[in-house]
């Protein structure tokens, strides 16, 4: 049997379709879909099947000295998320006589392939192995690749593994040291990384430049001419007010000026070079895509065969690429007029400075239509197609005109430009090309002056980095790789070190960078990281061994710890002072003390430092879902900083002023305008959707005598507008389906809140033993609500979501034999009889029983 291993499931399916056509069939092996025909089987991985870690004895942050991690043993551990894939690899490996590694051809892809190969060899030592290298998942490329298989590059895989080990050791040791020293444990630990920290230092240093910047005043002088254009004094900027006033006084009464010089010329703009990853990200950012989003979309386009591999440094099309064929495939598409125009002349592409042999520049690999792609995918695909076309186009030609006008002995200048030949801009219309038209003037011509305009300005501080610009700077400094730079920046957002666009550092970022610059400067300067990146490239080229580079990196880290340990108390004091600043929201409205962000078992809240004398506090809605960031913006009414919640891999939640939020919540409680979901199953009163102070949504009975305590939680998301739809549940008559409408996203369908709650509880119980995929809409297992509700009606205790055999035995020992017994029990009293079962959990089960009765 011939086993082919790809990096992703979609790639496996597509390659099998290309190689075997209609004969390709899907077969499940150990719960994993595989594809193939006859003795040919293709299986897709899901990234790394194994990882690197420290032995379990190093897990305790408090008991293990962080420095011990520097020279601790590194072990290979299986990725539990891919356990089914590992089982399938072993099953197939036993039957195979040949395995072809067809993962992405780069450092990371080679390592992923070798990891899978080692698993297969673990059950079949005699298996033969080879490598398929490709840059596009198209029929021509794949068939050619599998007709010309090569050897696995174990040096390239070793380079990838060295990065894994070095990043683990540096990140874990330094993160643990700073976090323990500053007592910042839990989810708000202080993350440090080999590439992450120098990148963060770039952001903080730029912010310091902005803060230290002293604006300088300057003045500008313009003449507005009756002929319909404006000229500017030759001086451009006047830095001395006295000189500006003198010139203005001299010319202000002038009614005319004389053309003293006319210069006509031409200017050309060369066409752009082919896209590599960095330039693609920068171009995508100009049309509204973040680096992470742009790369995610590009990866999808590549996997589906529409573009070439999107992770490349190359800016030179290789001779092996049939450029004419690629352009010709667009002749009968909506890009037909562009392709036709290009093909009228020989194709002579531009070339950038970087050339490599692993992958070509990013280019379209096959024809796509708008109907085949989502809107964002089409925008990215079109960008890549148009850039590809532009690399074959001619230069842009402008006619330029420079006019000098004498006004009482002072020269004023007007510049004009008219686009004559659009050249590459015809294909790539993403750059502004506005004409600046001047009248056809001649030397000695007298021009009228309508008025003089003056502007008083100050110099601006250097701008903050945008993500695309920062990626370019990282590339120039050798920080990270084409595959990881955008991920590093996203990690800074996820760790709440930065926020906003352009990027702004938090006070925590300042504190960490300042500490490292003072006591471990090597960690935050690019030199060390750049050298290690170079060493990893040397491993790939066979110039140096993996062990040598890892040993060298550990020696560097040892020297860093010498300084850290020597200055432990100073580091602790400096970090704590800086970190405290990042938690201050503003003055307490009642006593004037600092209001600070503090943790609680329900998330984060804002407490007064005057406690216990002052007990004023404010909740932070949705703080359980990410890291709280105190922004620089301040509420004018309450003098408190606005907050946001940074969430891993997602856009932040804008919380705003916490006091305004609390007042709105209190007003809503008094007004009683909560949306009605339907009748209470217990007493028939209205059930309304409410929001807790912490931002959680729930359903509550509005019984007038408050005798009915029936409540149900609503699943996330906890932000967005809650909409009660006209659709009602078939099982629970009168109960309306609920949606959450969020800005910039499609509505989140919660559905019937009762059915959703049942599914959510059942899913939690199932996930403890089986795992399982959850529904994006409800957070519950992907099965019908009707079936889920039906499964609850069997009558036994274990048929209630959340009750397994162990808890059922506890309940029976406490005298609870049936669901009816459970419903009638006092929740608080029963909780005291059970081990590790809260009152809240019991009332949840009782709600399920009540729900079943009402259904």
pLDDT given for residue 855 in this prediction:
46
pLDDT at 838 exceeding the cut of 80:
no
pLDDT given for residue 434 in this prediction:
76
Tokens 């509505």: give the residue.
747
Q: What is the mean pLDDT of residues 475-484?
A: 90
Measure Cα distances from 57 to 65, 169, 311, 770 in Å: 11, 15, 38, 28
Give the C-alpha separation, 349 to 331, whole Å: 19
pLDDT given for residue 541 in this prediction:
92
pLDDT above 70 coverage of the chain, percent: 90
Q: For 216-230, 482-496, 724-738, which range has the lowest pLDDT when averaged over its residues? A: 724-738
Residue 209 three-state SS: helix
309 is catalytic: yes
C-beta atoms surrounding 35 within 10 Å: 24
C-beta atoms surrounding 557 within 10 Å: 24
Reported as a single tens digit per residue, the pLDDT across 67-82 is: 999 999 999 988 888 8
Beta bridge partners of 147: none
pLDDT given for residue 738 in this prediction:
81
Yes or no: say if 824 and 850 are a contact pair by the CB < 8 Å rule: no
pLDDT at 716 exceeding the cut of 70:
no
pLDDT given for residue 38 in this prediction:
92
Helix (H) or strand (E) holding 396: strand 396-407
Who has greater pLDDT, 818 or 301?
A: 301
Buried b / exposed e along 616-629 (16+ C-beta atoms within 10 A): bbbbbbbbbbbbbb
pLDDT at 455 exceeding the cut of 90:
yes
Q: For 83-87, 544-548, 626-630, 720-724, which range has the lowest pLDDT when averaged over its residues? A: 720-724
Yes or no: say if 376 and 320 are a contact pair by the CB < 8 Å rule: no
Q: What is the mean pLDDT of residues 783-807?
A: 56
Reported as a single tens digit per residue, the pLDDT across 111-146 is: 999 999 999 999 999 999 999 999 999 999 999 999
Measure Cα distances from 336 to 58, 149, 150, 333, 393 in Å: 62, 36, 37, 5, 15
- Which is nearest to 755 in space by CA: 740, 736, 770? 736
Q: Is the dihedral of CA 105, 107, 112, 117 positive or negative?
A: positive
pLDDT given for residue 72 in this prediction:
94
Yes or no: say if 782 and 788 are a contact pair by the CB < 8 Å rule: no
Reported as a single tens digit per residue, the pLDDT across 593-623 is: 999 998 887 778 999 999 999 999 998 877 7
Q: For 434-438, 443-447, 611-615, which range has the lowest pLDDT when averaged over its residues? A: 434-438
pLDDT above 90 coverage of the chain, percent: 61
pLDDT given for residue 780 in this prediction:
33
pTM: 0.76
Give the C-alpha separation, 564 to 715, whole Å: 45
Give the C-alpha separation, 684 to 23, whole Å: 60
Q: What is the mean pLDDT of residues 775-783?
A: 33
pLDDT at 651 exceeding the cut of 80:
no
Per-residue confidence band for 764, with pLDDT thresholds at 50, 70 and 90: low
Give the C-alpha separation, 484 to 504, whole Å: 21
Q: For 160, how many CA atoms within 13 A lie in the half-sphere containing its CB?
A: 21
Among 58, 134, 218, 309, the one annotated catalytic: 309
**117, burial (CB in 10 Å: exposed 0-12, middle 13-18, buried 19+):** buried
C-beta atoms surrounding 11 within 10 Å: 23
Per-residue confidence band for 810, with pLDDT thresholds at 50, 70 and 90: confident
């Amino acid at each position: 049997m011939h086993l082919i291993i790809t990096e992703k499931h979609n790639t496996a399916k597509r390659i099998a379709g290309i190689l075997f056509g209609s004969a390709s069939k899907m077969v499940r092996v150990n719960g994993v879909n595989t594809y193939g025909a006859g003795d040919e089987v293709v299986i897709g991985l899901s990234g790394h099947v194994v990882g690197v870690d420290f032995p379990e004895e190093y897990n305790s942050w408090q008991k293990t000295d962080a420095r011990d991690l520097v020279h601790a043993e590194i072990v290979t551990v299986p990725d539990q998320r891919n356990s089914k894939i590992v089982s399938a690899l072993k099953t197939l490996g036993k039957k195979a006589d040949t395995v072809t590694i067809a993962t992405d051809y780069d450092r990371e892809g080679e390592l992923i392939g070798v990891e899978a190969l080692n698993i297969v060899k673990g059950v079949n030592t005699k298996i033969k192995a080879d490598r398929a290298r490709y840059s596009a998942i198209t029929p021509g490329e794949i068939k050619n690749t599998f007709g010309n298989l090569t050897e696995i590059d174990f040096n390239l895989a070793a380079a990838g593994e060295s990065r894994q080990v070095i990043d683990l050791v540096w990140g874990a040791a330094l993160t643990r040291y700073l976090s323990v020293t500053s007592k910042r444990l839990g989810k708000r630990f202080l993350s440090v990384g080999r590439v992450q920290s120098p990148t963060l230092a770039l952001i903080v240093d730029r912010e310091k430049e902005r803060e230290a910047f002293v604006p300088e005043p300057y003045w500008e002088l313009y003449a507005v001419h009756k002929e319909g254009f404006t000229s500017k004094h030759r001086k451009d900027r006047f830095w001395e007010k006295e000189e500006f006033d003198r010139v203005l006084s001299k010319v202000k009464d002038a009614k005319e000026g004389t053309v003293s010089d006319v210069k006509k010329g031409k200017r050309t703009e060369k066409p752009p070079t082919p896209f590599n990853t960095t330039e693609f990200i920068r171009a995508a950012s100009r049309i509204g895509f973040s680096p992470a989003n742009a790369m995610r979309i590009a990866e999808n386009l590549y996997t589906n065969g529409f573009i070439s591999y999107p992770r490349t440094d190359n800016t030179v099309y290789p001779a092996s690429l049939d450029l004419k064929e690629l352009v010709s495939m667009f002749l009968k598409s909506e890009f037909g007029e562009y392709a036709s125009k290009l093909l009228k002349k020989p194709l002579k592409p531009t070339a950038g400075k970087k050339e490599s042999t692993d992958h070509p520049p990013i280019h379209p690999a096959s024809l796509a239509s708008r109907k085949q792609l989502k809107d964002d995918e089409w925008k990215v695909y079109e960008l890549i197609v148009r850039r590809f076309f532009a690399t074959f186009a001619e230069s842009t030609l402008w006619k330029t005109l420079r006019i000098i006008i004498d006004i009482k002995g002072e020269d004023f200048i007007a510049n004009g430009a008219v686009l004559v030949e659009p050249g590459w801009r015809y294909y790539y219309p993403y750059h502004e090309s506005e004409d600046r038209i001047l009248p056809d003037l001649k030397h000695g011509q007298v021009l009228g002056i309508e008025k003089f305009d003056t502007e008083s300005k100050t110099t601006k501080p250097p701008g903050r980095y945008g993500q695309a610009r920062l990626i370019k700077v990282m590339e120039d400094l050798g920080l990270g790789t084409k595959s990881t730079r955008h991920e590093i920046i996203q990690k800074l957002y996820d760790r709440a070190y930065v926020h906003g666009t352009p990027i702004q550092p938090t006070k925590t970022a300042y504190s960490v960078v300042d500490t490292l610059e003072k006591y471990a400067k090597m960690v935050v300067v690019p030199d060390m990281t750049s050298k290690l990146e170079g060493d990893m490239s040397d491993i790939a080229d066979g110039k140096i061994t993996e062990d040598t580079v890892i040993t060298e990196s550990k020696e560097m880290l040892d020297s860093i710890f010498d300084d850290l340990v020597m200055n432990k108390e100073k580091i602790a004091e400096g970090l704590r002072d800086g970190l405290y600043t990042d938690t201050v929201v503003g003055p307490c409205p009642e006593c004037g003390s600092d209001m600070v962000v503090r943790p609680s078992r329900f998330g984060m809240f804002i407490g007064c430092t005057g406690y216990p004398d002052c007990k004023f506090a404010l909740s932070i809605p949705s703080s359980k879902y990410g890291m709280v960031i105190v922004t620089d913006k301040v509420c004018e009414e309450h003098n408190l900083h606005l907050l946001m919640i940074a969430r891993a891999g997602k856009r932040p939640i804008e919380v705003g002023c916490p006091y305004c939020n609390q007042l709105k919540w209190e007003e809503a409680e008094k007004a009683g305008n909560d949306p009605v979901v339907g009748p209470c199953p217990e007493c028939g009163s209205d059930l309304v959707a409410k929001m807790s102070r912490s931002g959680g949504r729930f359903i509550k009975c509005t019984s007038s005598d408050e005798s009915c305590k029936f409540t149900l939680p609503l699943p996330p998301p906890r932000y967005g507008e809650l909409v009660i739809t006209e659709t009602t549940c078939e099982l629970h008559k009168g109960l309306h389906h609920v949606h959450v409408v969020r800005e910039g996203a499609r509505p989140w369908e919660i559905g019937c809140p009762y059915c959703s709650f049942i599914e959510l509880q059942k899913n939690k119980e199932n996930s403890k033993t089986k795992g399982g995929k959850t529904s994006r809409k409800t957070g519950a297992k992907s099965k019908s609500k009707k079936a889920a509700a039906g499964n609850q009606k069997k009558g036994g205790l274990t048929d209630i979501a959340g009750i397994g055999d162990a808890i059922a035995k506890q309940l029976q020992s406490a005298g609870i034999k049936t669901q009816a017994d459970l419903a009638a029990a006092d929740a608080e009293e029963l909780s005291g009889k059970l081990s590790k079962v809260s009152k809240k959990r019991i009332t949840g089960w009782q709600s399920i029983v009540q729900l079943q009765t009402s259904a």
